[in-house]
């Protein structure tokens, strides 16, 4: 089965692009919007409607394989690629990418994905969003060509045994952090609630609002019998603004101990405690904090996000022992195979892999990531896209359950055939 044609269609993503630098600098929220001037290159305003670029591969069988090019909410921040404009990149997909993919074997995912990763335009690699979306379509094409699932294609490429149960889903609340957390609790979400604590105002000038929220969350969870969630709070580097280095000093460790007590009896992990401005500095400061917590016996896990964007970044954080969990931020790694490789790079280490991404993705990219998570047995999978929680949770949960059911039926049919 061949790839006969490539199309690109400008579409919409599940949330917005936000200028993180401007928000951290104190941009005033005005309803759902922000007032003020953008500070990150490429932004026309602080909050902009998210964009996507759907890629369709026409196969010689008559089938169509699909993927969505999309980028993270906080594009252009923390070492990431610049803001993704669908109209600007459509010609790249239908030009240089299409020229190289037409006529290729649709079943050869690994070879096609490697070719895509190496493509350049005027000496520059393709934007991560393009590599992300086109690789999704290539994975879909391979599954169609081989009559299997995208999970099976990846598992075969990396010679691994896929998960036989759904991967724990991590719900994200957006700014409706109490209402959406209540929804998560009622639905029994394994990991929650993200919280979107991306400013000093939300955390509190002394961290008191975050403490109150974690305490409230624990109290609400205890009301549900038989429920044993893990709490995961993203603070977008703001705790670093409150405390500053060195992060192993008593004031910092004591605050994390307070968070641990507030979360009890549930496990707690804090994402992005500081933003040190570079990968090397981030690894150094995260390691210092992690060592300080370990020495004090404070059982709070640290999650790497800022400056942990590429496969090489993930490996650097893992090798340095700088985090208990690394977020594999799927759109930032480029091709989906790179996300799979990043998760697998955590095997045999004491660092868990969280297959994340962004609220600003699409239903197509989210479903593809569910297959990456199943194939690699990630520690947790982000519910995406959007910030309403319910929709993203439904999309990734149902995709995993459908895939596992399909793989189970295939295995049963194989066993029957063998018996005959």
Q: Which residues are tagged catalytic? A: 329
**Other residues' Cβ atoms within 10 Å of the Cβ of residue 373:** 32
Question: In 32-105, where do the E strands start and end?
Answer: 33-35, 47-59, 64-69
3-state secondary structure of 387: coil
**What residues contact residue 173 under an 8 Å CB cut-off, 6+ apart?**
179, 180, 181, 184, 192, 193, 194, 195, 196, 387, 389
Q: What does the alpha-carbon distance between residue 399 and residue 365 come to, in Å, rounded to a whole number?
A: 11
- From the list 331, 401, 314, the residue with the least C-alpha distance to 135 is 331
Q: What is the largest CA-CA distance in the chain?
A: 71
3-state secondary structure of 190: coil
DSSP string, 214-247: HHHHHHHHTTSTT---EEEEE-TTHHHHHH-S-T
Q: What does the alpha-carbon distance between residue 303 and residue 352 come to, in Å, rounded to a whole number?
A: 9
**What residues contact residue 399 under an 8 Å CB cut-off, 6+ apart?**
366, 367, 370, 371
3-state secondary structure of 17: strand
């Amino acid at each position: 089965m061949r790839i006969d044609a490539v199309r690109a269609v400008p579409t919409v993503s599940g949330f917005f692009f936000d200028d993180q630098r401007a928000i951290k600098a104190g941009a005033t929220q005005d309803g759902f919007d922000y007032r003020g001037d953008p500070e990150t290159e490429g932004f026309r305003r602080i909050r902009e409607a998210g964009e996507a670029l759907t890629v369709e591969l026409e196969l010689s069988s008559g089938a169509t394989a699909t993927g969505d090019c999309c980028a993270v909410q906080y594009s252009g921040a923390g070492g990431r690629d610049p803001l993704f404009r669908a109209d600007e990149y459509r010609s790249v997909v239908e030009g240089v990418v299409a020229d190289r993919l037409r006529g290729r074997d649709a079943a050869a995912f690994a070879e096609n994905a490697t070719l895509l990763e190496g493509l350049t335009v005027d000496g520059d690699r393709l934007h991560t969003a393009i590599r992300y979306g086109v690789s999704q379509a290539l994975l879909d094409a391979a599954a169609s060509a081989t009559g299997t699932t995208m999970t099976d294609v990846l598992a075969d490429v990396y010679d691994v045994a896929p998960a036989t149960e759904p991967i724990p889903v991590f719900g994200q609340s957006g700014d409706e952090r109490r209402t959406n957390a209540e929804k998560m609790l009622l639905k029994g979400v394994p990991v929650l609630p993200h919280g979107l604590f991306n400013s000093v105002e939300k955390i509190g000038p002394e961290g008191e609002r975050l403490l109150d929220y974690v305490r409230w969350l624990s109290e609400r969870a205890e009301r549900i019998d038989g429920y044993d969630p893990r709490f995961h709070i993203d603070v977008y580097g703001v705790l670093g603004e409150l405390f500053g280095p060195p992060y192993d000093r008593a004031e910092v460790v004591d605050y994390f101990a307070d968070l641990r007590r507030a979360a009890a009896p549930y496990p707690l992990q804090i994402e992005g405690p500081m933003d040190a401005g570079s990968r090397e500095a981030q690894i150094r400061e995260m390691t210092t904090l992690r060592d300080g917590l370990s020495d004090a016996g404070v059982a709070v896990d640290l999650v790497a996000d800022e400056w942990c964007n590429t496969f090489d970044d993930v490996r650097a954080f893992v090798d340095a022992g700088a985090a208990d969990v690394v977020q594999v931020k799927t759109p930032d790694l480029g091709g989906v195979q790179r996300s799979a490789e990043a998760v697998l790079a955590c095997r045999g280490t004491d660092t868990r892999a969280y297959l994340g991404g962004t609220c600003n993705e699409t239903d197509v990219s989210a479903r593809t990531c569910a297959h990456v998570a199943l194939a690699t047995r990630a520690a947790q999978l982000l519910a995406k896209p959007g910030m309403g929680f319910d929709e993203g949770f439904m999309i990734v949960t149902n995709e995993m359950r459908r895939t596992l059911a399909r793989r189970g039926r295939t295995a049963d049919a194989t066993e029957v055939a063998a018996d005959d």
